[in-house]
């Protein structure tokens, strides 16, 4: 019941807050400085919403249907973008933050996320993550990789699956594919 309610609320938030961001004629990713600490304020964070439209659509995501900020109070000070997929059964997001993956794993704000296994994102070392509400990664799957400005966090999620229903696909397959296609654009 909790999972259904959370999925329903998350779906409503997605539906109600989808807006456009960035400009379609942007040749690359715009950068902006965060100001959460002295060390972090010197790091420039790219805006995932400024990814070139052709790269996002090539990853099977809909550029006009997106949320222009990270979802979750733990990601305050981060930048992010979430898109609906053309397939329609999942959403995908890219967040960037001013900390390394090792710092992320130690930070209590992110205690709901657990490192599952090392992986690679294109040719970069990365880490697979699960969250506390979906430890089997049936509905949500995450991959993180260190970047020069901190880290990039890729996610794929199925907005809603009824108890007892089979998920329409594997979000981990999608997040692996999307992260491999977009990671080089993020740094």
Report CA-CA distances (Å) from 1 to 74, 114, 163.
Answer: 24, 23, 8
Q: Distance between CA 176 and CA 187 in Å, rounded?
A: 17
pLDDT tens series, the chain, 187 aa? 344 434 433 443 433 333 333 333 333 333 333 334 434 443 689 999 999 999 999 999 999 889 898 888 899 999 999 999 999 999 999 999 999 999 999 999 999 999 999 999 999 999 999 999 998 998 999 999 999 999 999 999 998 877 788 778 999 999 999 999 999 999 8
pLDDT at 5: 38
Do the domain assignments include residue 12?
A: no
Task: Give the span between the Cα atoms of 9 and 71, in whole angstroms.
Answer: 12
Q: What pTM was estimated for this model as a whole?
A: 0.77
Tens of pLDDT, residue by residue over 67-105, are 898 888 899 999 999 999 999 999 999 999 999 999 999
The reported pLDDT for the residue numbered 93 is 97
Whether 88 is covered by a domain: the verdict is yes
**In a domain? residue 160:** yes
Sheet containing strand 91-97, strands side by side:
61-67, 79-85, 91-97, 150-157, 140-147, 124-131, 113-121
pLDDT value of residue 119:
97
Which range marks the domain in which residue 107 is found? Answer: 48-185
CATH number at residue 85: 3.40.1000
pLDDT in tens, 164-176: 887 789 999 999 9
- Tell me if 119 is assigned to some domain: yes
Is 3 within the bounds of a domain? no
Residue 146 lies in a domain: yes
Residue 29 lies in a domain: no
Does residue 124 lie within any of the structural domains?
A: yes
In the chain, the number of structural domains is 1
């Amino acid at each position: 019941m909790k999972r259904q309610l959370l999925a329903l609320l998350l779906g409503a938030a997605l539906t109600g807050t989808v807006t456009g961001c960035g400009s379609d004629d942007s040749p690359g990713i715009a950068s902006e400085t965060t100001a959460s600490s002295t060390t972090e304020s010197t790091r420039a964070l790219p805006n995932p919403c400024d990814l070139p439209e052709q790269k996002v659509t090539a990853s099977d995501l809909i550029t006009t249907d997106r949320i222009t900020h990270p979802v979750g109070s733990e990601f305050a000070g981060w930048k992010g973008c979430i898109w609906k997929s053309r397939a329609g059964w999942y959403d995908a997001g890219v967040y960037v933050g001013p900390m390394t993956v090792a710092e992320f794993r130690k930070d209590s704000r992110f205690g709901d996320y657990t490192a599952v296994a090392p992986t690679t994102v294109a040719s970069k070392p990365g880490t697979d993550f699960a969250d506390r509400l979906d430890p089997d990664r049936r509905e949500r799957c995450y991959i993180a990789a260190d970047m020069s400005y901190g880290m990039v966090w890729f996610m794929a999620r199925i907005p809603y699956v009824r108890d007892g229903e089979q998920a329409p696909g594997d979000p981990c397959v999608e997040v692996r594919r999307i992260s491999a296609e977009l990671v080089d654009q993020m740094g």
